[in-house]
Amino acid sequence: MNEKIILSRALTTPRDGCGPLLQGSGENAFSLRQQVFEYVRAHGQAARADITTALGISPGSATTLTADLITSGFLREFEGRARETGRGRPKVGLEVVPNAAYVIGIKLAFNRHTAVLADFAGKVIADASFPSGDTRRPMAQLLQETQNLVDRLLKESGISPSDIKAMGIGMPGIIDHSTGTVAWSSLLEVRNEDLTAAFSERFGMPLLLDNDANMLTLAELWFGEGRAMSDFAVVTVESGVGMGLVLRNQLYRGAHGMGLELGHTKVQLDGALCQCGQRGCLEAYVADYALIREAATALGHSFDTSKNPEDVLATLFERAKSGHTAAETIFRRAGKYLSLGLSNVVQLFDPELIILSGERMQNDYFYAEEVLDTMEKLTLNEGRQSCRVAVNAWDDLVWARGASALALSSVTATLIDEMRAA
């Protein structure tokens, strides 16, 4: 195994805290009251002395701000020693009140939708999944599929719909996060759908909509490998190729909220047809449908591509690992194109870490030593420290947890702003 690779890590638990461990700055900085709250939630438990030191505020300010948050029902004291590195007598600890608010996070995708219901501390209370099919559909059908997930979560958790403060949804495609418009998605029949307006009319609660790769990136920022990092990238490979980027401890979306479409960067002029309708996109050589298309061409009648796509890919991978030359060539070719995409990420953004994720990370061809070696050869490395690569083959619930983090972030800002105004 290449020494630059870090294999998958476990997600944190609410006791470990959730959310970025590094404080935001500049225009992205929270109000001081929210910084106090976010510090406690990020660390799971904290003493006032820890808050004073970490945020550089006076003990009096820490006492006043935490008292406000306790009165508002967002924080509570607990008996026992809060987590701290110093010595001395035990101090009264603070932690988030879990039932102060609830949110739902959903990943809409080909083959399977997944969802989680989380409390204010980030703990998952219930989860659900449903088969979704692999065809494009009208928006009304997609909303009904979302309703089915929500109904299942509410039934399993016993939580009232009125207690759900917001919902986060991640889906493949080109999403305008600020307006909630889906410019294009492989799940929808029509382009430029205003999903947020239709959602609000049906569900009567705020919707935070984003590209699914951004949701997975938030999962890494809130619960995973990137919690203590200021700059890292996430690249996903499954039914498409996605990318999320964290710069200065903040999710980066681009000027119009539609950036970082790595899967639709061109790697071959007039090349293979992509599901977006253009040719030569990276995902047209790497994504699930590209591998199946290659299998149909290379293996012909000896390979049945009419089965469930996951079964087809599993069989193709088994053949490749058993030494079938044509099957192995398919994965190695896809790995070379992935190397090209990863080298471009390093060259453009110089991240400290690239996290490879998605279902195809179950196939070691995509992080084989030759893939990373080729990535380095295609990158100008003079004076540059080598970019580390982590492989996190999470299950689908992690994407939904990232969507819940987006909802939690929005709800937290809203509640604390309302508290300050009051």
Confidence of residue 239 (pLDDT cuts 50, 70, 90): confident
Q: Is the pLDDT of residue 134 over 90?
A: no
- pLDDT per residue as tens digits for the range 365-391: 888 889 989 999 999 877 777 889 998
CB neighbours (10 Å) of residue 8? 16
Q: Where in the chain is the domain with CATH 1.10.10.10?
A: 31-96
Measured CA to CA, the distance from residue 30 to residue 123 in angstroms comes to 22
Contact indicator for 242, 27 with CB cutoff of 8 Å: no
* 167 touches 161 (CB < 8 A): no
Topology of domain 31-96, CATH = Arc Repressor Mutant, subunit A (1.10.10)
pLDDT at 324 over 50: yes
Q: What is the pLDDT of residue 1?
A: 43
- CATH 3.30.420.40 location in the chain: 100-217+398-421, 228-394
Buried b (16+ CB within 10 A) or exposed e, 75-101: beeeeeebebeeeeeebebbbbbbebb
> Which CATH superfamily groups domain 100-217+398-421?
ATPase, nucleotide binding domain (3.30.420.40)
Q: How far apart are CA 174 and CA 182, in angstroms?
A: 6
Beta bridge pairs of residue 241: 237
| pLDDT of 19 over the 90 cut | yes
pLDDT for the residue numbered 304: 67
8 A C-beta contact, residue 164 and residue 104: yes
Residue 280 has a pLDDT of 95
Mean pLDDT value across residues 269-273: 93
Cβ count near 25 (within 10 Å): 11
pLDDT in tens, 178-194: 899 999 898 999 999 99
Model confidence at 85: pLDDT above 90: no
How confident is the model over 34-45, as pLDDT tens digits? Answer: 999 999 999 999
The superfamily in CATH containing domain 228-394 is: ATPase, nucleotide binding domain (3.30.420.40)
The pLDDT, as a whole number, for residue 337 is 95
